[in-house]
Amino acid sequence: MAPSPSPAPERALSADCASCSGLCCVALAFARSADFAFDKPAGEECVNLEDGFGCRIHPQLRERGFKGCTVFDCFGAGQLVTRHTFGGRSWRDDAGVRAEMFAVFPIVRQLHELLWYLREALAMPAAAPLHAALRSAWDEVAHAADAAPADILGLDVDELRDPAARLLREAARLTREAALRERTAAASTATRRVKASRLHPGADLLGADLRAADLRGAELRGALLIGADLRDADLSAAELIGADLRDARLHGADLDRAIYLTQPQLDAAQGDARTRLPAALHRPAHWS
């Protein structure tokens, strides 16, 4: 019998914009491109930000040239920084916290993204031998995210991230290997095998034709899958941490057990009602 996954730690790791002071619309910079209709420097308020911190064009972001906004997720950092780190103070009403708040937010976002991945790893039965170490890493990163502003600004994020990243890679390896052991017995709707030499961390699969490909257990960490055709592909237990899925075609693909797949990756891709997703993620509104 497979070991049970560790209980997921309780923490909000998805954006609650109603509890945030619009930090992503002010603190972060963006450049005019296919994702943004104009340039905005860091620390300058977006012209679309309302007085109540809502976006006045939110329902039409894609149509108005702000696709980049629709695929951004702060992983809950915005509401934590607003409500906890700065005790509900607003950068609009308290000029004394403005610069510090804008500097803290991107750091906490990095920490919360790392916590999201650690929580995913803790839910992997095959990674049970690592669960104690993963939980210890979780506690350390969560403690750092909950610290006072001065302590957050003094953090060496890499010092926290590097050991956690090694654990995440090892958890993914154990999960992929467990899936591959089941591969010969498990049925798959995918019909095409892909050369193993093409499937590796950081692989350049830009626009690749991977229709109906058997990608079960593939190590696609950081892979470039921009515009790739993954229709009807089987990505069960494929590791997708950091993979770029912008405009990838996921229609009919099986992503139900994909490893480290995030909502922003789905939001950047295309898909349809046949695309199988993990229970914790939702089908983007723009999918057909």
**Cα separation values, 24 from 73, 98, 101, Å:** 9, 13, 11
Domain range enclosing 47: 17-176
Residue finishing a domain among 176, 209, 224: 176
Same domain, 151 and 265: no
Quickly state the pLDDT bin for 200 (edges 50, 70, 90): very high
Residue at 7 is within a domain: no
Q: For 118-152, what is each residue's pLDDT tens digit?
A: 999 999 999 999 999 999 999 999 999 999 999 99
Q: Stretch 255-265: mean pLDDT, rounded? A: 97
Same domain, 171 and 282: no
- pLDDT at residue 8 greater than cutoff 80: no
Domain of 258: which CATH number?
A: 2.160.20.80
Same domain, 83 and 201: no
Residue at 168 is within a domain: yes
pLDDT of residue 288: 83
Same domain, 103 and 227: no
Residue at 166 is within a domain: yes
Residue at 47 is within a domain: yes
pLDDT of residue 262: 97
Q: Stretch 201-227: mean pLDDT, rounded? A: 96
Same domain, 203 and 258: yes
- Give DSSP secondary structure letters for 66-123: -HHHHT---TTHHHIIIIIITTT--TTT-HHHHHHHHHHHHHHHHHHHHHHHHHHHHT
Percent share of the chain, pLDDT over 90: 88
pLDDT of residue 40: 97
